Each structure stands twice: as structure tokens, then as C-alpha cells.
Amino acid sequence: MAKPVTLDGHSLTIDDVVAVARRSAAVAIDPTALVAVKQSRQAVEAAVARGETIYGVNTGFGKLAHVRIPAEQARQLQRNLIRSHASGVGEPLPVDAVRAMMLLRANVLVRGTSGVRPVLPELLVEMLNGKVHPTVPSQGSVGASGDLAPLSHLALAMIGEGDVKVANPITLEAKEGLAFVNGTQAQTGLAALLVADAWTLWRTAHAAAAMSLEAVRGSPDPFDARIHDARPHPWQQRSAALLRALLADSEIRESHRENDPRVQDAYSLRCTPQVLGAVGEGLGFAERLIATELNAATDNPLVFGGDVLSGGNFHGQPIALALDVIGIALTTLAGLAERRLERVVNPDLSSGLPAFLAHDPGLESGFMTAQIAAAALVADCRVLATPASVQSVPTEGNQEDVVPMGMSAAWKAGRILANAERIVAIELLAGAQGLEYLKPLTPATAVARLHAAVRQESAALVADRPLTADIERVAVQIRAGRFAS
């Protein structure tokens, strides 16, 4: 049972998001946080009573902000906002993404800067705990005034409309519709899940690299700590340390240490810490932006004491950039894994392993087409790695004239992640097969455990067979963290 998560608007973590989104951890609201929520609501009501003009409270939205809305139409204004902006298209977001978005939106609303009543975050928490998940289309947000369309589809359920109904729908009061949909929580929820999965893959890529190195009888000497202390990038150092631990006490390495004519291995083997270290630096950068955004006030206008201020915290550029960096980093990881895979299956590069790891090369093709599949996935990743966060297309009558395309960046990063997981899965399968041909020599203890884990998902190749199911099973276990070092 996952540990319960308590929201206070300031302390939510990526681990919390994963626990609620994927393990259905219970959610509660810190009672002290509701004091600030009530105070911010009182500030909005007082400003309205004074006759102040407040964007989205008694004005239209976007290009229509100059239109003054009478007080008696305040509720209709908020309801119309949700209805009109619920115009997303495409395949629905997966349930874990919807749950992440709901959690993040509730957490932001309890910060006390949104000017809403406590009933809004309380209803979101009730929906999470009751596993009530509205259908949210995955496309239709440019991430500029926040994720307007995805959040509007979520809000539909809360007001008793849409395809999923709540037991006690609410009536939105002044500002509450706008406060709900102005925010980056769709793209940020996806980003939090993606960066968690990316770190799992990063660790798994090291395990696959160690197995490939053993299979082609490469040298672990380039992972010596002294080399990496001389170029002290933190994640490069961590990568090298991970590889040293994985490759300790290898009988395979000791068997050919004195007779190996190679002075240096190819870059895909020798430079793994330098490349995966850089990937780690990119993921670390993205994680920092995402972790900050989890507890950020991203709607507009914001309430500070008695002041209601219009600004632009809803702009999703930080998260769009983080997602693009995740995609680029994982494309780098995927390309490196495919190059190691090539060295394992190519008879000109594999230090004596059978061609394409087939038992009877020529009659059998072994891993020939599995490597081709990996090459195709790498090409797909490289196309998708083109940044979305620079692809601005102005909207709302040119009021939103610079937009970040965060949801597009999330979609791309998600597909790159899935591709990279399958590429690493193929490398694990090939590395495990390569070790079969080196018996009775045994690899390092950690690699032997990895080999056994792979074998639980895929039997050794003794004759040609379709490998699709094996690849997919291993990829699923990669996502679950089973092979992560």
C-alpha cells in the first residue's frame, strides 16, 4: 500500500505524483492550507464588492478582456469558459496522466493564491480517492495560458457535465473557472511521470551496457574512477561508478585480460559513462524544473493578501523545455544502446560471437532483424527529438502570441521513451544471448543476476522464432524497474 499523500501547495514531490497516479495512494489536504485558501477567496470577493475590474472575474477572456461582464452573469461566465474551452481532440490521456493532472491541480489550488473556495480542491481529492477519472483528450493545448483544453475537460466533470459524473457537482463562482483552467498541470503531470520513467531507463541502460561489454569481452578499464575524477561531471562520475559495480569480479574479463590484443574498445563501449553521464545531466536539469513546477502557482490572476494581480505564470515554457530535454537525452541513450547492440550481433565486431547470435548462421538469421527494428526506432527518436518548445503558433487573436507547445513536447517525449525502452530491451536480449556462447565462463555477479532476470522473460534462442513478444515483455519489465541497476 502506497503511503498517503497530503497536499499543502508547497511540498509535493515527483515520487508523490507517481504514487498517486500509478499506485492509487490516498490523498488528503492539510487543514492548515485551507486557511490560506479561504483568505484568498475572501480577497477576491472583497475586490468584486469594491467594483474593481478583475480579469476573468468581471471581464471576458483573452482578446475579449475589454468586455465588462455584469455581476449577475458571473456564474454564467465561468460555466461558459469551461464549456467553450473543452474542445480537446485526439486519443484520451491514460488514467495515470489524468490522475497526475488532478493531483497537481488540487495542490496548486491549496496554495492560497488562486482565490477559489475550498470545495474545488476538496472535490478533486474526493475524485482521486474514489477513482473517478474524466476522459481528457490528449491534443488541443498549446500550453500558453496553461493547459486550457485538458483542464476544461476535467472541470466539466466537476460541474456535472461531460462523460463522467461526480456525485455532488459544484457551481463555479466568480474566478473559479478561470482559476481552474489557467495552469500547466496537464503537461507537468505528464512530465513528472516521464522523468521518473526516464531515470529508471537510465539505470537499466547501464545494466544493458555492462551485459553487452561482457558479451563482446570488452574492457572495464575506461571506467576507472581516476579517469572520471579528472573530468568531474557529477553524472559521468556516477555512471562510471555504476558500471564498475556492475562489472566487478567478472570471470569473462579475467579469462582474456592477458591475451586480448585490443588496446581500446569502440566509443559505444568505452565512452558509456561520458554519454550516459550527459544524459543524466539532462534528466537532472529537467527534473529540477518539473519539481519546482509541482508546487508553483500557475493560474491568473493571482491573489496576494488583498491584491489580485494579473501575470503570466501559466506560460508553460519551463516544462516544455524540460520535456524537450528529456526527449533529446533519451534519444542519445537510445542511439548509444543501438550501437552497442550492433557490436554484439555483427560478426565483424563481436569478438568471435556467431553472426547475429544465430546457432546456424545462414540457415538462421538470429537477431538480424531485431537490430533492424532497433535502428528504425532510433530513427524515429531522432525525428521526434526536434524541439516542440520553439514551435510557437500565435492564438487567441494574437493575444497569446508566444506559446510553448508543452503538450506536444510531452507526446514526443513519451513516444521517445517507449522507443528507447524497446531498444534497450533488444540490447538486453542480445547481450543475454551473447553470454550463452561464452559458457562455461561466468560474467560479473550483477550481470549474471541480470542475465537470469532476462531469461525469466525470454528463453535463450536455440532456433529462429518471432521475437516481438519477447521484446515487448522485456520492455514492460524495464518500465517496471526490474532490470534497473
Query: 287 is written with which cell numbers?
Result: 527534473
Cα separation of 65 and 51, whole Å? Answer: 16
**Can you say whether residue 324 is alpha, beta or left, with left for phi > 0 and alpha for psi between -120 and 50 degrees?**
alpha
Q: Count CB atoms within 10 A of the CB of residue 34.
A: 17
Q: Are strands 27-29 and 5-7 parallel, antiparallel or unpaired?
A: parallel
Beta bridge partners of 7: 29
Catalytic residue from among 24, 30, 45, 55 = 55
- C-alpha cell at position 192: 513528472
User: What is the DSSP secondary structure assignment for residue 367, as one 8-state letter?
Assistant: T
| 467: three-class secondary structure by DSSP | coil
Q: Grid cell 559505444 — which residue?
A: 268
DSSP category for residue 163: S
Under 8 Å between Cβ of 129 and 144: no
Nearest to 433 by CA among 344, 336, 335, 342: 344
Cis preceding linkage at 440, omega within 30: yes
Q: Does the annotation count 55 as an active-site position?
A: yes
Rounded CA gap, 342 and 350, in Å? 8
Between the alpha carbon of residue 116 and those of residues 22, 149, 172, the distances in Å are: 28, 20, 9
Q: Which three cell numbers stand for residue 66?
A: 475589454
The C-alpha cell at 161 is: 457535465
Residues classed as catalytic: 55
